[in-house]
Amino acid sequence: MTRPGKLFVISGPSGAGKSTVIARLLKRLNTVYFSISATTREPRRGERDKIDYLFMSEAEFQNMVKNDQLLEYAEYVGHYYGTPAQPVAEKRKAGYDVILDIESAGARQVMEKIPEAIGIFLFPGSFKVLEERLRLRSTDSEEKIKQRLIKARSECRSIKMYDYIIINDRVETAAEEAAAIITAEKCRTSERIHLLKEEC
């Protein structure tokens, strides 16, 4: 029987480089599935529906909430974001490790529902770097950038809830560290002992 995959929750301030690090990570590990979130925010330039996010109206989102289709959800700087529950459960059942890229209120909900979930906090290096990245992205208004920076500081207060911290000074190193965490978690005695039933 296939063993269920693990659940990894990656959080960190918006602009910390989570999407880039996760994209590199997915190239390194082919047993990992990235959970595509539902959101009510507008797509940024280059973002594709059903690949980067499931972009939807607020009514559609509320319908998913009402029908209990989300593993977690939260409001972030004026928009809703949530994790569709079914694909996560299905992929894990099929043996894939699943990665969620979610903010800290959602992460807390997941950790409460699924205590074995592994939390990774990705920090951008410094708040100065974060501010530069958010401005460089130049998709948000000044007001939204300010709100994201305030949110980033408040997210740091939840940092102790995570099992690991990655400081994203260099994307390649951050992706390497994330891959190392996933690999190490899969080598845990509790994960491997069944393979040695006959031997030990």
Please, which of residues 101-160 interact with ligand 5GP by CB under 6 A? 101-103, 106
Q: What is the number of the residue whose Cβ is closest to ligand 5GP?
A: 106
* By CB under 6 A, residue 82 contacts ligand 5GP: yes
Residues 7, 14, 97, 162: which binds ligand 5GP (CB under 6 A)? 14
| DSSP character string of 111-167 | HHH-TT-EEEEEE-S-HHHHHHHHHHH--S-HHHHHHHHHHHHHHHTTGGG-SEEEE
- Measured between alpha carbons, how far is residue 148 from residues 43, 112, 178, 194 in Å? 17, 25, 24, 45
Tokens 């700087």 sit on residue: 77
- How many chain residues are in contact with ligand 5GP, going by CB under 6 A? 15
Stretch that binds ligand 5GP, among 60-68, 71-79, 113-121, 127-135 (CB under 6 A): 71-79
Point out which residues bind ligand 5GP (CB under 6 A): 14, 18, 37, 41, 72-74, 76, 81-83, 101-103, 106
